[in-house]
Structures are given as C-alpha cells and as structure tokens.
C-alpha cells in the first residue's frame, strides 16, 4: 500500500480538535474515503478468488489471508449492477467490520488524510435510501477536490457475525495446542459442482455411486430431479447445482458425475454433483469461518478448508443443507407414493455395515475407508532420486511430509497406465511413515454389510505371485441378483509387508 499523508493539512489539524484520519481510494474518476480506523491493510488482488454460490452479484468471491477468509466486495457493482468485474490490477482494502474482515475492491489507493471537521460534511437520508452508503463528503484544495466518505456499516451486512466470531474463537483456542491428537482428525469428501469445490464430512455420507437410471415422479421440482432405487427404497435425487441456483438448463450428463447419498436425520437424499475429487483429512481448527453477505441457505456453509494443492474447499453442514420442510416433503412424499418398496427395506440398516472405497488397478478392488488417510490427484510434482526400485515412482512432498509413491502396476508387472492424468494416489500411514499407492482411478464410496464379505477362494490366493489379487484374502459381493460384482478387499498391511523387501525404509 503506497498511501501518502496529505500535505498542507497539519496546521489546520492542529487548530481543530475534531481532526479525523481517512484513507482515500479511487474507483474510476471517483475518489472515496474510509475512516482509517477500520482499514486493516491494503493488498494486491489475489491470484485466486474462489466463487461463493448464492452470494449477491457484487461479491467477487473469497480468498484466504493469514488464516482468515476474506469476502471480496466489488464496490462498483454494489453501486451499479452492470459495472465491470474486478481485474488483477485492482487493489483490495481489508476492512475490520464488527471484528470480521471484509475486502473492498478499488482501482487504486490514494493518500492518508488528516481532515478537520471544517472540511467534512455529513449527509442525511430518508429511511431505506440506497445511497446511504455515502456518509458524507470531504472538500479539499479550495473545493476543487471532492471525496465521498463511505459508511462501512451501511455498506455491508454480514449475516453470520456470531458464527464467524465463535469459529474464530474456537480456532484460536485449539491453535494453542502444540500438536493435534490423532483422535481429533476428521475426514471429508470433496466434490465439484457449480464451478466450485465443496465437501461433506465423511460421517454424513452413506455411499457415492455412479448415476443410475432416474425415474420421474410427481414430486419432481426445480430441486428434485427424480428418484432412484437405492437398497430397496425410493430415494429423492437433488441437483446440487440447482440447490445453489447455478443449474445450467440442458447441460449434458458426463461420465464423471456422481450421486452422493447422504443421511439427513431419518431421511436418505441423493445429491447429483459434477465429480467427486478427493478424500481430505482435516482438524477442527482448520475450518475457517466464511463471512456471508446473503441469507440464502446460509446455515449450510460451515466454513472453508484450505489445503495446499487443493485450494479453497467450501465445507458444508449436511444437517443444514435442506430445510426441514424440504426434507419432510421428499421423505413423506415418496413414502406415500411407494409404500411397499419402502417397507421392504425396513431392517436393512440394522446389520453391521462398513464403508469402502472402490478403485481400479486393472481390476476393481475395495478398501475399508479407515485404512486410507486421504486421496489426492496424481501429480507431476513427484521427484525420483537415483537408485530407487522400479516399483517406486518417487517421493512427493505433501504438506511438508515426504511420501513414497508406489506404482502398483509396476510392482505387479502389469502394463503401464496409458493416461496417468486420471490416476489417483491413496495415502496410507503406518506409524511415522506414509505411502502413496498409485491407482488407475477411484470409483465409488459404498456401505457394505458384513454379510457380503467372505474369504477369497483358495485358487485366487494361490495365484501367480504377480497378481495383486493374490495378496488379498477376503472379497465382497455387491450388486443385485441381475447384476452382481465381486471385488477383492485391499488390505494395506499385506502390501506393506511385500514392500518390506523392495523398499528399505518400509522395513
């Protein structure tokens, strides 16, 4: 910030007890002033601003700055809806607004001004006047220079100040701990929808499935695309983009689309999303509060998680994503329409069930979700020191911890993957060591009953040594009577034992 204190004002300031300090800014040909007491700092426009759905048009998005999420307000669009969007040469004034930080976009910064009362005038408005954001004016240079004083409190309304302050206080308290206990670690699944990245906490998710055939019903609406047959029940499917008022009419379906099946109170709802990206681990104090400028579904935005390589992830409160009325309508409506099918599903949740990630390495496997720390995209940022075993792709620096990346295809003499760009890395940890298993792609997350898990046939377990399935001694059976599928249960311990001979550090 290059602001200069206005010259020629000191003598008048000294003679006027009501001198006040202002910072000046330029927006087009207009010059504005803000009380210096509310200006925390001025920064360049960030390289990455994350869009926030359901926000007013004048909100450019948000970015993180030293542990705070800063909403970026385009002042020009606040005054005029068709004003241009912000550009990377703009500046952002960070304001301290009711102990919540907010960024205001300007085209350039001006000076720090000491302004006596004799040069300031206050403006008064009728109730509800939209121009009330201008609190007054400053006249300088004999009246030749006019600055409009902005009133920060009239400018913005932060809808969730108590939530932001509570989360800030909680984060500060947790942040005093020297280390995180492993029991404090949580997991979420990130996904893409409406041009942004979101996440549901793992405990909220029943399964993630490919998009099945959706059946229309009289309950179809702007939100509800239809219903799907899921474990003996009829489950409503909600278009997540429509929920965010960002649906594109006529948008074609893609193979990457998934339905995330979420349990909301006593109701199961499916959310259609563009893609499911990663499993991300986090701690409670890493959830940063998002100051919201809109009331629309505000309760569903629990905060923001920022991870190196993943950017800003909007963390959702699954219990608040739909209103009670919407949940009841979808639940009771389908129950009335399809009572027989719903009743046949009674008791299906009573059996002991476990959550699995299914993935492919030539053939499909399933791994219990508790064995995987997180899932990341295959990255070109892997370094390969000389003398490494052929099965080892190299080392990856993931958030200041080195991870050995194992190519499972190479380890089991399979042909190399043609397109590694679609590959995923399953991060597992044993003690202080972390390993990444490179797989072709991750398919789904599903909940499987223990009754569907059985010992692998002897012929598979005594197969060729270079068959990945021969390392696994259990299988699961999924699907329906018409379309069954059997998957080997991937057990990380078995694989790490095999790696002991190939990798000295794994011993």
**What pLDDT is attached to residue 480?**
55
Rounded CA-CA distance 349/206 in Å is: 11
Q: What is the mean pLDDT of the chain?
A: 80
Residue with tokens 């034992």: 497
| pTM score of the predicted model | 0.77
Establish how many alpha carbons lie within 13 A of residue 30's alpha carbon, considering only the half-sphere containing its beta carbon: 12
pLDDT at 2 over 90: no
- Of 9 and 20, the structure prediction assigns the larger pLDDT to 20
Q: Residue 258 corresponds to which tokens in the numbers above? A: 């998934």
- Write out pLDDT tens, residues 59-109: 999 999 988 999 999 988 888 888 899 999 999 999 988 788 999 999 998
pLDDT at 498 over 80: no
Q: Does an H or E element contain 13, and which? A: helix 10-14
**What pLDDT is attached to residue 103?**
92
- Of 325 and 494, the structure prediction assigns the larger pLDDT to 325
Rounded CA-CA distance 200/188 in Å is: 5
- Write out pLDDT tens, residues 247-265: 877 788 888 899 999 988 7
pLDDT at 132 over 80: no
Pairing of strands 100-106, 68-74: parallel
Give the residue-averaged pLDDT of 395-409.
Answer: 85
- Write out pLDDT tens, residues 145-169: 999 999 887 777 887 777 788 777 7
Q: DSSP of 266-290, one letter per residue?
A: TEEEEEEESEEEEEEEE-GGG-B--
**What pLDDT is attached to residue 80?**
84
Which SS3 state, helix, strand or coil, does residue 376 take? strand
Rounded CA-CA distance 118/451 in Å is: 83
- Write out pLDDT tens, residues 279-312: 898 988 889 999 998 888 899 999 999 987 788 9
Rounded CA-CA distance 268/324 in Å is: 13
Percent of the chain with pLDDT over 70: 81
Q: Residue 233 corresponds to which tokens in the numbers above? A: 């029940």
Q: Residue 466 corresponds to which tokens in the numbers above? A: 């270079």
Backbone φ and ψ of 48, nearest 5°: -130, 120
Do 219 and 234 touch, CB atoms closer than 8 A? no
**What pLDDT is attached to residue 214?**
86
């Amino acid at each position: 910030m290059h602001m200069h204190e206005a010259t020629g004002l000191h003598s008048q300031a000294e003679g006027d007890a009501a001198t006040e300090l202002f910072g000046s800014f330029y927006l087009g040909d207009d010059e504005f002033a803000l009380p210096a007491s509310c200006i925390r700092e001025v920064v360049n426009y960030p390289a990455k601003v994350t869009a926030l759905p359901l926000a007013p048009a004048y909100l450019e998005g948000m970015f993180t700055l030293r542990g705070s999420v800063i909403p970026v307000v385009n002042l020009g669009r606040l005054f005029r809806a068709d004003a241009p969007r912000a550009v990377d040469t703009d500046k952002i004034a960070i304001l301290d607004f009711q102990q919540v930080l907010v960024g205001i976009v300007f085209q350039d910064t001006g000076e720090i001004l000491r302004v006596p009362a004799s040069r300031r005038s206050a403006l008064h408005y009728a109730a509800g006047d939209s121009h009330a954001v201008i609190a007054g004016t400053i006249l300088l240079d004999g009246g030749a220079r006019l600055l409009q004083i902005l009133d920060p409190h009239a400018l913005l309304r932060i809808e969730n100040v108590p939530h932001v302050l509570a989360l800030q206080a909680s984060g500060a308290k947790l942040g005093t701990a020297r280390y995180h206990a492993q029991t404090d670690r949580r997991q979420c699944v990130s996904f893409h929808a409406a041009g942004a990245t979101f996440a549901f906490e793992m405990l909220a998710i029943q399964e993630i499935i490919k998009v099945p055939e959706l059946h229309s019903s009289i309950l179809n609406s702007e939100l509800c695309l239809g219903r799907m047959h899921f474990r003996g029940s009829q489950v409503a499917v909600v278009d997540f983009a429509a929920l965010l008022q960002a649906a594109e009419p006529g948008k074609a379906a893609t193979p990457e689309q998934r339905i995330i099946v979420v349990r909301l109170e006593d109701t199961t709802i499916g959310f259609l999303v563009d893609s499911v990206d990663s499993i991300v681990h986090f701690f409670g104090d890493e959830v940063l509060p998002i100051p919201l400028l809109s009331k629309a579904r505000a309760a569903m935005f629990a905060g923001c998680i920022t991870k190196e390589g993943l950017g800003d992830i909007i963390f959702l409160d699954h219990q608040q994503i739909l209103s009670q009325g919407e949940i009841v309508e979808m639940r009771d409506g389908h129950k009335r329409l399809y009572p027989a099918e719903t009743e046949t599903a009674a008791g299906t949740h009573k059996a002991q069930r476990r959550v699995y990630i299914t993935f492919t390495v030539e053939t499909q496997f399933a791994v219990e979700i508790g064995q995987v720390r997180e899932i990341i995209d295959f990255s070109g940022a892997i370094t390969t020191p000389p003398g490494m075993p052929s099965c080892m792709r190299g080392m990856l620096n993931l958030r200041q911890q080195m991870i050995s990346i194992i190519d499972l295809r190479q380890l089991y003499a399979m042909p190399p993957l043609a397109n590694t760009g679609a590959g995923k890395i399953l991060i597992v940890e044993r003690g202080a060591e972390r390993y990444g298993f490179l797989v072709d792609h991750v398919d789904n997350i599903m909940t499987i009953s223990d009754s569907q898990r059985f010992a692998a046939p002897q012929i598979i377990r005594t197969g060729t040594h270079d068959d990945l399935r021969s390392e696994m001694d259990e299988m699961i059976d999924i699907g329906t009577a018409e379309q069954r599928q059997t998957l080997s249960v991937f057990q990380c311990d078995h694989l790490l034992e095999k790696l002991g001979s190939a990798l000295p550090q794994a011993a």
